[in-house]
Amino acid sequence: MTLPAFVKIVEVSPRDGLQNEKNIVPTDIKIDFINQLSETGLSVIEATSFVSPKWIPQLADHTEVFKSIKKHQNISYPVLVPNLQGFNEALAAGVKEVAVFTTPSETFSKKNTNSTVQESLDNIKQVTDAAKKHHIPVRAYLSCVLGCPFEGDIAPKAVTDLAMTLLDFGCYEISLGDTIGVGTPGSTKKLLDVFLKKIPEKQTAVHFHDTYGQALVNIYVALEYGISVIDSSVAGIGGCPYAKGATGNVATEKVVYMLNGLGIKTGIDLNMLIKVSRFITQRLPKLSDQK
Ligand code: HMG
Ligand code: MG
């Protein structure tokens, strides 16, 4: 099996990483953090989310963060939006790419966005329609694809059907989220065997959390299937506050270390990445201690 020669890392720590932090991280630290990430060779850094501040108070400073970060020409800084209101606010802040999200699990959908899966698709359709008018690329996340904390196993067909709908809406890529990190190489293979029959691997990304230490091996499986876009979070920070038991994302430095070992290029400087990882980990426990 030929592994991809180049992998694009989508760095999600400023959004997926910080959204799960209880203590509010000061805005200037978030800005400094993203500016440091921009120096590591990453080409995509998900900067924040324009969701309801009542639901995710940690990211209520989205507009200030987005406007204040130093934007590099060759780096994309997408933001997460749940609906048209979030999209419009993101657009007003100068955002050039957005990510939407839904899930095959009705219960998780309700807990995470107070909507049924169909209602979340209706919201996404409004976003993709508006995004087309403004020439804004839209990426889509599917959460809980390898298991849901409320509904248990998720059928690969349900994941695939939703992905087809999202591509029809105009999303350019589907990120498969193992939100609570329950996936194994076995379940990852079962999903990809079904999924990649309908969805091109070029439009597929993987987003693993590392609850049971399976993330890297699951990523290796995805690489074997030809997937070359990987979401990760420096220092392994992150999780979804509405997914019971969700722990951190796979750490970007671990992913880059593995890819370097496989001779797969990422364009990322591992030493610089480790410095940024130290920077954020040193600040997060300090903030917890102040509680
Ligand atoms: P709702 O309370 O049902 O909203 O929340 P509503 O439509 O009934 O409106 C109620 C109020 O919210 C109104 O304000 C709206 O203006 C406001 P009021 O009149 O009461 O003052 N509102 C908004 N405010 C700011 N920005 C918005 C917005 N929309 C409405 N965009 C809603 C529904 C979807 C907004 C809410 O449930 C929400 O924001 N959910 C997001 C939760 C979240 O961010 N979860 C984590 C991200 S997903 C994830 O982690 C998984 C992923 O990482 C992949 C993986 O790991 O697998 C992607
Ligand atoms: Mg995540």
Can you list the domains of the chain with their CATH numbers? 8-290 (3.20.20.70)
Strands 79-80 and 48-49: parallel
Interval between CA 274 and ligand 2 midpoint (Å): 20
Give every CB contact of residue 147 below 8 A, 6+ residues apart in sequence.
Answer: 153, 154, 178, 180, 182, 183, 187
Q: So what's the pLDDT on residue 289?
A: 56
Residue 204 Cα distances to 88, 183, 246, angstroms: 26, 17, 22
Residue nearest to atom 32 of ligand 1 (CA): 113
Q: Is the pLDDT of residue 202 over 70?
A: yes
Q: What is the pTM of this model?
A: 0.97
Q: Which residue carries 């639901």 as its tokens? A: 55
Q: How confident is the model at residue 291 (pLDDT cuts 50, 70, 90)?
A: very low
Q: State which H helix or E strand residue 218 sits in.
A: helix 215-224
Q: How confident is the model at residue 286 (pLDDT cuts 50, 70, 90)?
A: low
Percent of the chain topping pLDDT 70: 97
Is 240 one of the annotated active-site residues of the chain? Answer: yes
Q: So what's the pLDDT on residue 44?
A: 98
Query: What's the pLDDT tens digit per position in 40-61?
Result: 999 999 999 999 999 999 999 9
Q: Of 11, 48, 52, which is best to mutate to test ligand 1, by the most ligand atoms within 8 angstroms of its C-beta?
A: 52
Which region, left, alpha or beta, applies to residue 172 given φ > 0 means left and ψ of -120 to 50 means alpha? alpha
Query: What's the pLDDT tens digit per position in 68-127?
Result: 999 999 999 999 999 999 999 999 999 999 999 999 999 999 999 999 999 999 999 999
Interval between CA 189 and ligand 1 midpoint (Å): 32
Percent of the chain topping pLDDT 90: 91
d(CA 253, CA 257): 6
Other residues' Cβ atoms within 10 Å of the Cβ of residue 198:
12
Q: Which residue carries 């990422």 as its tokens? A: 266
3-state secondary structure of 186: helix
Structure tokens at 248: 């951190």
Kindly list the protein residues whose Cβ atom lies closer than 6 A to any atom of ligand 1: 16, 19, 49-52, 55-56, 82-83, 85-86, 101, 112-114, 141, 143, 177, 179, 207, 240, 242
Query: What's the pLDDT tens digit per position in 219-242?
Result: 999 999 999 999 999 999 987 778
